[in-house]
Amino acid sequence: PKKEHTLVLVKPDGFRRGLTGEILRRIESKGYVLKGLKIKQADRALLEEHYAEHRERPFFQGLIEYMSASPLVAIVVEGDRVIEGVRSLMGTTNPTLAAPGTIRGDLGRDWGTGQVENLVHGSDSTTSAIREIALWFPELEYHAED
């Protein structure tokens, strides 16, 4: 069977707070394998493509501002059921409500800015993972189908 991959982003708030190592530690300690990793200043065009499904949502412009405010870390992670596994490690979207034990629940909170800052992104399906890895890592020889 083909190996499963997912795209993880340590979002600008996570990178700025020095939490990249802690987030990678949790992913690696779970047993997943890093296949690609880079620091990147994402531009609006890349983020609008990445978050295309949310284009009509009221929070879209704020989301693009948040994600482009400073560099982030983009990572390709490999493992059996890694898409679901990383989503489980992340916790639910709102960091105030995310369960303790998860990345968002342990390390995230609301800051009174009105912007949801939740430290980490993980692809939500096989289709999303293939699309997002090709978008963030066009230079990788293999994509999620390999």
Binding site members for ATP: 11, 59, 87, 93, 104, 118
Q: Are 89 and 129 in contact (CB under 8 A)?
A: no
* Between 4 and 13, CB nearer to ligand DAT: 13
Least separation in angstroms between CB 1 and ligand DAT: 26
The site partner of 93 among ligand DAT, Mg ion, none (C-beta below 5 to 8 Å per kind) is: ligand DAT
Closest CA to 74 of 141, 120, 127, 124: 120
Q: Are 38 and 73 in contact (CB under 8 A)?
A: yes
* Between 5 and 121, CB nearer to ligand DAT: 121
Least separation in angstroms between CB 63 and ligand DAT: 5
The rounded distance, in Å, linking the Cα atoms of 66 and 135 is 19
The rounded distance, in Å, linking the Cα atoms of 70 and 78 is 26
Please provide residue 24's backbone torsions phi and psi, each rounded to the nearest 5 degrees. Answer: -65, -35
* Between 46 and 142, CB nearer to ligand DAT: 46
The reply to whether 121 belongs to the active site is yes
Interface residues with ligand DAT (CB under 6 A) are 54, 59, 63, 93, 116, 118, 121, 124
Helix (H) or strand (E) holding 34: strand 33-40
The site partner of 116 among Mg ion, ligand DAT, none (C-beta below 5 to 8 Å per kind) is: ligand DAT
Q: Which residues are catalytic?
A: 121
